[in-house]
C-alpha cells in the first residue's frame, strides 16, 4: 500500500489538509454524555446542561446520504 504522501504533490497534500482543517473547524458534532443532547457547532463547546463530558466528532467523517 502506498503512503498518502506519495499519492499527492506537496501542494495537493497541503490543499487537502487545509480543506480538512476547514471542515473540522466549521462542522463539529457535539454529543453530551450527561443529557444526550446533540448539536453542531464550529467551535468546541460545553453542553447547555453545564457538562464538559462532551464527545466531538468532525462532521466530514459522516457520509452524505
**pLDDT digit of tens for each residue in the chain (65 aa)?**
445 557 889 999 999 899 888 877 788 999 999 999 999 998 899 999 999 999 999 887 777 66
User: 20-50 in b/e burial notation, b at 16+ Cβ within 10 A?
Assistant: eeeebeebbebebeeeeeeeeeeeeeebeee
pLDDT of residue 25: 76
Are 37 and 48 a contacting pair, CB within 8 Å? yes
- Name the strand (E) or helix (H) holding 58: strand 54-58
Single out the residue of 44, 16, 18 nearest to residue 29, CA to CA: 44
What are the residue boundaries of the structural domains of the chain, listed by start? 4-61
Amino acid at each position: 500500500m502506498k503512503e498518502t504522501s506519495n499519492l499527492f504533490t506537496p501542494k495537493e497534500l497541503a490543499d487537502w489538509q487545509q480543506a480538512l482543517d476547514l471542515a473540522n473547524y466549521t462542522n463539529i458534532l457535539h454529543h453530551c454524555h450527561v443529557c444526550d443532547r446533540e448539536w453542531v457547532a464550529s467551535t468546541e463547546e460545553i453542553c447547555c446542561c453545564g457538562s464538559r463530558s462532551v464527545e466531538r466528532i468532525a462532521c466530514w467523517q459522516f457520509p452524505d446520504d
